[in-house]
Amino acid sequence: MESLKKMGYLPVLIVLVSLFSSHTELGNTYVWWILDIAVIISVLWNKRMYFQANNLKDFRIINIYFLWMIIGVIRGIFVADNYWEYKQLVTGSLSLSLPIFVYAFSIPEILQKTLRLWIKYALPLFLLFFMWYLRRDFYHYYIAPALLMACFLPILPRKWKIIFTLLLLLMIFADLGARSQVIKAAIALLIGVTYLLSKFVTNRILKIVHWLCYIVPTVLLVLGISGVFNPFKAMAENEGGKYEYDSGRLDSDPDDLAGDTRTFIYEEVISSALRHHYVWMGRTPARGNDSWTFGAYAAEELKTGKYERHSNEVCHPNIFTWLGLIGMVMYSLIYLKSSYLAVFKSNNIWLKLLGIYIAFRWAFGWIEDMPDFEIMSITLWMMIAMGFSEQFRQMDNEQIQNWILKIFEK
pTM of the complete model beyond 0.85: yes
What pLDDT score does 239 carry? 53
For residue 7, what pLDDT is reported?
Answer: 76
pLDDT at 245: 47
Tens of pLDDT, residue by residue over 197-248, are: 877 788 999 999 999 999 999 999 999 888 777 776 766 665 554 444 444 5
- pLDDT of 376 > 90? The answer is yes
309 - beta bridge partners?
289
pLDDT at 258: 55
- pLDDT score at 372: 92
Top pLDDT among 244 and 112 is at 112
Q: What does the pLDDT look like over 338-365, one tens digit per residue?
A: 999 999 999 999 999 999 999 999 999 9
* Each residue's pLDDT tens digit, 125-174: 999 988 888 888 888 889 999 999 999 999 999 999 999 999 999 999 98
Residue 244, φ and ψ in degrees, nearest 5:
-115, 145
- Contact status, residue 245 vs residue 176, Cβ threshold 8 Å: yes
On the question of pLDDT at 115 being above 50, the answer is yes
Q: What's the whole-number mean pLDDT along residues 166-194?
A: 91
Give me the pLDDT at residue 157, please. 95
Q: Average pLDDT, stretch 26-51? A: 93
Residue 100 has pLDDT above 80, yes or no: yes
pLDDT band with cut points at 50, 70 and 90 for residue 257:
low
pLDDT category at 405 given cuts 50, 70, 90 is very high
pLDDT number for residue 243? 46
Instruction: Give the separation between CA 257 and CA 249, rounded to whole angstroms.
Output: 16
Return d(Cα 158, Cα 185) in angstroms, integer: 20
Q: In angstroms, rounded to a whole number, what is the distance separating the alpha carbons of residues 119 and 143?
A: 10
**What integer is the mean pLDDT of 103-130?**
95
Least confident residue range of 246-255, 382-391, 396-405: 246-255
